[in-house]
A = this chain, B = another copy of it.
Amino acid sequence: MKRNSRLSAVLHALMHMAEREAPMTSDDLALCLDTNAVVVRRTMAGLREAGIVQSGRGHGGGWHFARPLADISLLDIYNALGEPIVFQIGPATEMPGCVVEQSVNRVIGEALKDAEAILMARFAGTTLADLAADFRVAAKHCRADTG
């Protein structure tokens, strides 16, 4: 299956925004992400509703942050994206009648739940400021293009 790359993509977009002063248009970001402006708007819509970014129309419009990078965790963003499904593997039936299947689903489900909790904790503990700092360290070693 195609994997869901919205989290990755939107973080990529936000980091580009973080490197600039002025708002960036959907077209700007689409160029960075090598995708379409509509896809950008669609993805960013959730973040706007969550109060993470703001958008402006017309001349000089575009996307900018609604609050400091240090106040935005990866979990905030994950949630703003509509909490995409984490795992590709999952149960065959959500509400099985078969007792055997129920038992299997429970065991697998608990394992997945624990792994997901680890992931969410990690997301909660990482802010966009962390991510930006991480990037700047990496960029020091390799002053290449940023497109």
Contacts and interface: CB of A to CB of B under 8 A. Distances in A.
B146 A92 contact: no
Contact of A7 (B89, B99, B123): B89
A79 interface: no
Secondary structure at chain A's binding surface: helix, strand, loop or mixed?
Answer: helix
A5 B147 contact: no
A146 B100 contact: yes
Nearest to A1: B1
Contact of A98 (B6, B99, B126, B147): B147
A2 interface: yes
Interface stretch (A44-52, A58-66, A109-117): A109-117
A138 B104 CA distance: 11
A18 to B, nearest CB: 9
A145 interface: yes
Given A9-B92, A99-B146, A138-B99, A131 B107 contact: yes
Interface string A113-127: 011101100110010
A75 B116 CA distance: 18
Closest 7 A/B residue pairs (Cβ): A5-B92, A3-B90, A103-B135, A1-B1, A115-B119, A111-B122, A88-B88
